[in-house]
């Protein structure tokens, strides 16, 4: 979810479903240690519970990055061993680390020793032609022994040469059964399944076999779907859920007013909101208006309220509006 689940996206999703456990986009441990930590790690308190997802392969560096993230207040440190991009592979990060379970175990042990919050691992079911269950179990066992109690498993293998990251999310077949078997073979671990799950009934079926479900592209493309997830599975969680999409838009208008004073441009926030009205009358106009207007020089947070008026039929035509700050 690189370039998707930034802090603006997470704040937006939190308005829809207060019970979700949110994850950052993948962040390089080296960047956390040596770069602009505030830019990389800052988040709004409303995002809790929120996990930071790190990429790295050096135990000491990952331990240092974990300490920094924990000091920022993250509730979980997640090590990504699932990203298949060429750039990540060139640094011996992401999914290629499945071939080095002992190194991953050393990284997890160092991270666990550095922080009091949980350290988890996100992985695939395999890589290239090393995709049988024995390979997956051979990766999980030493990493679990090093102290990892939760594995988030994308139920596709990663093909490290020849497929793009997008293709790696669609071309390798889904093997949810492989993740289910992992839970049966390692009942003491918390196993969360990820990949291709797009309906409430599918979530319910998965929860009969594993401990949790991670949603990625479905949440990004159809964010209001998370309101139904909240209602069906997370009603007992603290915090009020949004009653309707308009309440979310108004909350994001207030958020954007605040953030614009800190130098955030409207499109940095509104780009995450394009799918809010997916499947409803007016959705196309909502998307087009936000996509076109939010990038204009001088764009104002008021464009959210104006666009809301269009999609609800309560205002003038969108073409009559010039969303420029006074």
Q: How far is CA 206 from CA 89, 117, 195, 228, 234, in A?
A: 30, 26, 11, 16, 15
Considering the domain architecture, whether residues 138 and 12 belong to the same structural domain is answered as yes
In a domain, 325, yes or no: no
Considering the domain architecture, whether residues 110 and 52 belong to the same structural domain is answered as yes
Considering the domain architecture, whether residues 201 and 64 belong to the same structural domain is answered as yes
Q: Give the pLDDT confidence score for residue 318 in this predicted structure.
A: 44
In a domain, 219, yes or no: yes
| β partners of residue 152 | 122, 192
Of the candidates 235, 269, 234, the residue with the CA atom closest to the CA atom of residue 251: 269
> Average of pLDDT values for 244-258?
95
Return the DSSP state at 181: H
Considering the domain architecture, whether residues 249 and 194 belong to the same structural domain is answered as no
The percentage of the chain sitting over the pLDDT mark of 70, rounded to a whole number, equals 92
User: What CATH code is carried by the domain that includes residue 274?
Assistant: 1.20.120.1460
Of the candidates 197, 198, 161, the residue with the CA atom closest to the CA atom of residue 179: 197
Q: Phi, psi (5° rounding) for residue 214?
A: -105, 130
The SS3 of residue 79 is strand
Q: Give the pLDDT confidence score for residue 10 in this predicted structure.
A: 98
| Domain residue limits at 290 | 245-320
Considering the domain architecture, whether residues 64 and 138 belong to the same structural domain is answered as yes
Q: Is the pLDDT of residue 88 over 70?
A: no
Tell me which of 210, 233, 256 is where a domain ends: 233
Q: Phi, psi (5° rounding) for residue 27?
A: -125, 135
- For residues 184, 188, 190, 192, the Cα torsion angle rounded to the nearest 10 degrees is -10
Considering the domain architecture, whether residues 55 and 169 belong to the same structural domain is answered as yes
Considering its fold, how many domains does the chain have in total? 2
For 90-143, write each residue's pLDDT tens digit.
Answer: 567 889 999 999 999 999 999 999 999 999 999 999 999 999 999 999 999 999
- Model's pTM, two decimal places? 0.92
Give the DSSP H/E element, type plus range, for residue 193: strand 190-194
Q: Is the pLDDT of residue 56 over 90?
A: yes
For 199, other C-beta atoms within 10 Å of its C-beta total 11
Of the candidates 14, 1, 51, the residue with the CA atom closest to the CA atom of residue 255: 14
Q: Give the pLDDT confidence score for residue 228 in this predicted structure.
A: 94
Q: Which residue has the higher pLDDT, 313 or 21?
A: 21
Tell me which of 233, 261, 278 is where a domain ends: 233
Tell me which of 233, 253, 275 is where a domain ends: 233
Query: What is the rounded distance in angstroms from the CA atom of residue 5 to the CA atom of residue 42?
Result: 13
Q: Which position among 9, 83, 96, 107 bears the catalytic label?
A: 83
Residue 295 known to be catalytic: no
């Amino acid at each position: 979810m690189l370039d998707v689940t930034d802090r603006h996206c997470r704040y937006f999703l939190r308005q829809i479903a207060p019970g979700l456990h949110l994850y950052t986009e993948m962040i390089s441990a080296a960047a956390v240690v040596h770069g602009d930590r505030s830019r990389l790690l800052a988040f709004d308190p409303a995002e809790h519970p929120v996990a930071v997802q790190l990429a790295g392969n050096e135990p000491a560096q990952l331990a240092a990055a974990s300490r920094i993230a924990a000091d920022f207040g993250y509730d979980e440190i997640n090590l990504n061993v699932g990203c298949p991009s060429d750039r990540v592979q060139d640094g011996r990060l992401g999914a290629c680390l499945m071939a080095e379970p002992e190194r991953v175990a050393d990284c997890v042990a160092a991270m666990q020793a550095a922080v009091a919050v949980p350290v988890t691992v996100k992985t695939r079911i395999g890589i290239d032609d090393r995709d049988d269950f024995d390979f997956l179990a051979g990766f999980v066992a030493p990493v679990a022994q090093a102290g990892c109690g939760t594995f988030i498993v994308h139920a596709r293998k990663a093909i490290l040469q020849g497929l793009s990251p997008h293709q790696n999310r669609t071309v390798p077949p889904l093997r949810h059964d492989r993740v289910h078997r992992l839970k049966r073979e390692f009942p003491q671990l918390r196993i969360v399944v990820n990949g291709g799950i797009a309906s409430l009934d599918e979530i319910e079926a998965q929860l009969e076999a594993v401990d949790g479900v991670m949603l990625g592209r479905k949440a990004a493309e159809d964010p209001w779907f998370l309101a139904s997830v909240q209602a069906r599975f997370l009603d007992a969680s603290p915090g009020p859920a949004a009653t309707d999409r308009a309440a979310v838009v108004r909350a994001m208008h207030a958020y954007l007013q605040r953030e614009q004073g800190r130098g955030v441009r409207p499109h940095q926030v509104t780009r995450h909101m394009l799918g809010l009205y997916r499947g409803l009358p007016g959705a196309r106009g909502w998307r087009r208006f936000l996509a076109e207007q939010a990038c204009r020089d001088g764009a104002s947070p008021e464009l959210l309220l104006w666009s809301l008026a269009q999609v609800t039929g309560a205002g003038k035509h969108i073409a009559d509006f010039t969303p420029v700050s006074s």
